Protein backbone atom coordinates (compact mmCIF):
# COMPACT_ATOMS: atom_id res chain seq x y z
CA UNK A 1 0.00 0.00 0.00
CA UNK A 2 1.43 3.39 -0.94
CA UNK A 3 2.26 5.92 1.78
CA UNK A 4 -0.45 8.53 2.29
CA UNK A 5 1.98 11.21 3.56
CA UNK A 6 5.28 12.22 1.97
CA UNK A 7 8.57 11.32 3.71
CA UNK A 8 9.29 14.85 4.90
CA UNK A 9 6.32 14.58 7.28
CA UNK A 10 8.46 12.25 9.41
CA UNK A 11 10.72 15.19 10.31
CA UNK A 12 7.88 17.35 11.64
CA UNK A 13 8.14 16.15 15.29
CA UNK A 14 11.87 16.91 15.35
CA UNK A 15 11.32 20.32 13.79
CA UNK A 16 8.56 21.11 16.27
CA UNK A 17 10.76 20.10 19.22
CA UNK A 18 13.70 22.18 17.91
CA UNK A 19 11.40 25.17 17.34
CA UNK A 20 9.96 24.89 20.85
CA UNK A 21 13.43 24.68 22.38
CA UNK A 22 14.55 27.77 20.44
CA UNK A 23 11.42 29.73 21.38
CA UNK A 24 11.64 28.83 25.08
CA UNK A 25 15.36 29.63 25.14
CA UNK A 26 14.85 32.98 23.41
CA UNK A 27 12.02 33.97 25.72
CA UNK A 28 13.98 32.91 28.81
CA UNK A 29 17.10 34.79 27.75
CA UNK A 30 15.05 37.87 26.82
CA UNK A 31 13.23 37.96 30.14
CA UNK A 32 16.42 37.29 32.09
CA UNK A 33 18.25 40.09 30.31
CA UNK A 34 15.57 42.73 29.86
CA UNK A 35 13.03 42.12 32.64
CA UNK A 36 15.43 43.50 35.23
CA UNK A 37 15.43 46.76 37.19
CA UNK A 38 18.10 48.12 34.84
CA UNK A 39 15.52 48.18 32.06
CA UNK A 40 12.24 48.35 33.95
CA UNK A 41 13.11 50.93 36.63
CA UNK A 42 16.18 53.02 35.73
CA UNK A 43 15.02 56.36 34.36
CA UNK A 44 11.57 56.10 35.93
CA UNK A 45 10.56 59.66 36.87
CA UNK A 46 6.82 59.93 37.54
CA UNK A 47 4.95 63.21 37.59
CA UNK A 48 4.24 64.15 41.19
CA UNK A 49 1.12 65.91 42.51
CA UNK A 50 3.30 68.85 43.56
CA UNK A 51 6.36 69.96 41.60
CA UNK A 52 9.20 69.56 44.09
CA UNK A 53 12.74 70.33 42.98
CA UNK A 54 15.45 68.48 44.88
CA UNK A 55 17.95 70.50 42.82
CA UNK A 56 16.61 73.64 44.51
CA UNK A 57 16.05 72.33 48.03
CA UNK A 58 18.89 69.84 48.48
CA UNK A 59 21.22 71.43 45.94
CA UNK A 60 20.95 75.21 45.85
CA UNK A 61 19.54 75.66 49.38
CA UNK A 62 21.66 72.78 50.76
CA UNK A 63 18.92 71.38 52.97
CA UNK A 64 20.12 68.28 54.80
CA UNK A 65 18.35 65.11 53.62
CA UNK A 66 17.30 64.43 57.23
CA UNK A 67 15.30 67.65 57.43
CA UNK A 68 12.60 66.04 55.32
CA UNK A 69 13.47 62.34 55.57
CA UNK A 70 13.71 62.48 59.35
CA UNK A 71 13.88 58.75 60.06
CA UNK A 72 16.45 57.74 57.45
CA UNK A 73 19.17 57.30 60.07
CA UNK A 74 16.90 55.71 62.70
CA UNK A 75 14.60 53.40 60.81
CA UNK A 76 14.50 50.66 58.20
CA UNK A 77 12.51 52.98 55.95
CA UNK A 78 13.10 56.52 54.79
CA UNK A 79 9.89 58.43 55.44
CA UNK A 80 8.22 60.86 53.07
CA UNK A 81 7.70 64.19 54.87
CA UNK A 82 4.21 65.21 55.91
CA UNK A 83 2.83 68.53 54.69
CA UNK A 84 3.53 70.16 58.07
CA UNK A 85 7.25 69.80 57.33
CA UNK A 86 6.77 71.69 54.07
CA UNK A 87 4.75 74.38 55.84
CA UNK A 88 7.50 75.14 58.35
CA UNK A 89 9.06 77.10 55.49
CA UNK A 90 6.16 77.68 53.13
CA UNK A 91 3.97 79.34 55.72
CA UNK A 92 6.35 82.24 55.09
CA UNK A 93 8.02 81.48 51.75
CA UNK A 94 5.75 81.52 48.67
CA UNK A 95 2.80 81.10 51.01
CA UNK A 96 0.31 82.16 48.29
CA UNK A 97 1.85 80.18 45.43
CA UNK A 98 -0.71 78.35 43.30
CA UNK A 99 1.77 75.51 42.85
CA UNK A 100 1.74 74.92 46.61
CA UNK A 101 -2.05 74.89 46.92
CA UNK A 102 -2.15 71.06 47.35
CA UNK A 103 0.35 71.37 50.19
CA UNK A 104 -1.74 73.96 51.99
CA UNK A 105 -4.91 71.91 51.47
CA UNK A 106 -3.18 68.82 52.83
CA UNK A 107 -1.94 70.74 55.86
CA UNK A 108 -5.40 72.13 56.62
CA UNK A 109 -7.33 68.92 56.00
CA UNK A 110 -4.85 66.42 57.42
CA UNK A 111 -5.08 64.33 54.25
CA UNK A 112 -1.62 63.29 53.00
CA UNK A 113 -0.35 64.40 49.63
CA UNK A 114 -0.57 61.40 47.23
CA UNK A 115 3.11 61.32 46.29
CA UNK A 116 4.03 58.74 43.65
CA UNK A 117 6.64 56.33 44.97
CA UNK A 118 9.85 56.21 42.92
CA UNK A 119 12.14 53.82 44.79
CA UNK A 120 10.93 50.49 46.14
CA UNK A 121 12.68 47.22 46.85
CA UNK A 122 10.63 44.05 46.31
CA UNK A 123 8.68 42.68 49.27
CA UNK A 124 11.03 39.70 49.46
CA UNK A 125 14.08 41.94 50.00
CA UNK A 126 15.11 43.19 53.45
CA UNK A 127 16.84 46.57 53.44
CA UNK A 128 17.60 48.81 56.40
CA UNK A 129 18.36 52.47 55.66
CA UNK A 130 19.78 53.28 59.08
CA UNK A 131 22.34 50.47 58.97
CA UNK A 132 23.76 51.81 55.73
CA UNK A 133 23.86 55.56 56.37
CA UNK A 134 25.27 55.08 59.88
CA UNK A 135 28.16 53.12 58.43
CA UNK A 136 29.27 55.55 55.78
CA UNK A 137 27.07 54.66 52.81
CA UNK A 138 25.75 57.86 51.27
CA UNK A 139 22.35 58.43 49.66
CA UNK A 140 24.25 58.95 46.40
CA UNK A 141 25.30 55.31 46.21
CA UNK A 142 21.71 54.11 45.76
CA UNK A 143 19.78 57.19 44.64
CA UNK A 144 22.33 59.07 42.54
CA UNK A 145 22.83 62.83 42.62
CA UNK A 146 19.38 63.69 43.93
CA UNK A 147 20.62 67.19 44.69
CA UNK A 148 20.87 67.78 40.92
CA UNK A 149 17.44 66.40 40.00
CA UNK A 150 14.54 68.69 39.18
CA UNK A 151 12.37 65.59 39.10
CA UNK A 152 13.56 62.61 41.13
CA UNK A 153 14.24 59.59 38.98
CA UNK A 154 15.23 56.00 39.60
CA UNK A 155 18.97 56.33 38.95
CA UNK A 156 20.39 52.95 39.99
CA UNK A 157 19.22 49.47 39.08
CA UNK A 158 18.65 48.03 42.59
CA UNK A 159 19.30 44.61 41.07
CA UNK A 160 20.78 41.81 43.16
CA UNK A 161 24.14 42.20 41.40
CA UNK A 162 24.06 45.94 42.17
CA UNK A 163 23.72 45.20 45.88
CA UNK A 164 26.25 42.35 45.87
CA UNK A 165 28.89 44.48 44.15
CA UNK A 166 28.77 46.84 47.11
CA UNK A 167 28.55 44.07 49.71
CA UNK A 168 31.63 42.35 48.25
CA UNK A 169 33.68 45.56 48.10
CA UNK A 170 32.31 47.99 50.71
CA UNK A 171 35.58 49.94 50.74
CA UNK A 172 34.70 51.21 47.25
CA UNK A 173 31.48 52.87 48.46
CA UNK A 174 32.12 53.76 52.10
CA UNK A 175 32.97 57.32 53.12
CA UNK A 176 33.46 59.29 56.35
CA UNK A 177 30.20 59.34 58.32
CA UNK A 178 30.20 63.14 58.42
CA UNK A 179 30.13 63.19 54.60
CA UNK A 180 27.20 60.79 54.14
CA UNK A 181 24.69 63.60 53.53
CA UNK A 182 27.12 65.76 51.58
CA UNK A 183 25.96 64.67 48.15
CA UNK A 184 28.63 66.54 46.18
CA UNK A 185 31.51 65.09 48.22
CA UNK A 186 34.30 63.96 45.92
CA UNK A 187 35.95 60.66 46.72
CA UNK A 188 39.76 61.00 46.98
CA UNK A 189 41.91 58.57 45.09
CA UNK A 190 45.30 56.99 45.67
CA UNK A 191 46.73 54.32 47.96
CA UNK A 192 46.45 56.43 51.12
CA UNK A 193 42.77 57.15 50.55
CA UNK A 194 42.08 53.51 49.75
CA UNK A 195 43.84 52.46 52.95
CA UNK A 196 41.64 54.89 54.89
CA UNK A 197 38.45 53.43 53.40
CA UNK A 198 39.62 49.91 54.14
CA UNK A 199 40.31 51.13 57.68
CA UNK A 200 36.69 52.29 57.99
CA UNK A 201 35.52 48.83 56.97
CA UNK A 202 37.78 47.23 59.57
CA UNK A 203 37.25 49.68 62.44
CA UNK A 204 33.47 49.89 62.01
CA UNK A 205 33.24 46.09 61.63
CA UNK A 206 31.47 46.45 58.31
CA UNK A 207 30.75 42.90 57.16
CA UNK A 208 27.88 43.00 54.63
CA UNK A 209 26.12 39.65 54.15
CA UNK A 210 26.59 37.88 50.84
CA UNK A 211 24.45 34.86 51.57
CA UNK A 212 20.81 34.60 50.47
CA UNK A 213 19.51 34.86 54.05
CA UNK A 214 21.20 38.24 54.53
CA UNK A 215 18.68 40.04 52.33
CA UNK A 216 15.93 37.46 51.79
CA UNK A 217 14.45 36.83 55.22
Helix axes 101-109, 83-90, angle to 10 degrees: 120
Length of the chain: 217
The reply to whether 63 falls in a domain is yes
52 shares a domain with 33:
no
* Same domain flag for 138 and 177: yes
28, 52: one domain: no
157-216 residue pLDDT tens? 998 989 999 999 999 999 999 999 999 999 999 999 999 999 999 999 999 999 999 999
* pLDDT at residue number 13: 87
pLDDT of res. 41: 86
Domain housing 23: 10-37
Q: Quick one: average pLDDT of 62-68?
A: 95
The reply to whether 45 and 32 lie within a common domain is no
In a domain, 61, yes or no: yes
**d(C-alpha 137, C-alpha 208), whole Å:** 12
No. of helices (H) and no. of strands (E), the chain: 11, 0
pTM of the model: 0.80
Give the SS3 label for residue 145: coil
Q: What is the tally of structural domains in the chain? A: 2
Residues 22 and 120 in one domain: no
- Of 122, 118, 144, residue with least CA distance to 46: 118
| Dihedral Cα 147, 118, 167, 188, nearest 10 deg | -10
Please check whether residues 67 and 164 belong to one and the same domain: yes
In a domain, 107, yes or no: no
Residues 181 and 147 in one domain: yes
Do the domain assignments include residue 85?
Answer: no
Over 70: is that where the pLDDT of 1 sits? no
What percent of the chain shows pLDDT beyond 90?
80
- pLDDT for 17 equals 93
Residues 33, 123, single domain; the answer is: no
Measure CA 155 to chain center: 7
Indicate whether 123 and 164 sit together in one domain: yes
Structural domain contains residue 2: no
Assigned domain for 169 exists: yes
Amino acid sequence: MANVFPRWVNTIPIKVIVALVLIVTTVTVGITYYATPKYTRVGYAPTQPVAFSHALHAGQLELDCRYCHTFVDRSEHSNVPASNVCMTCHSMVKKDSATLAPVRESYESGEPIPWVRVHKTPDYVYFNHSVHVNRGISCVECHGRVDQMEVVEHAKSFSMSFCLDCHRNPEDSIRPVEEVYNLDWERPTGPEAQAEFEGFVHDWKVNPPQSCSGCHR
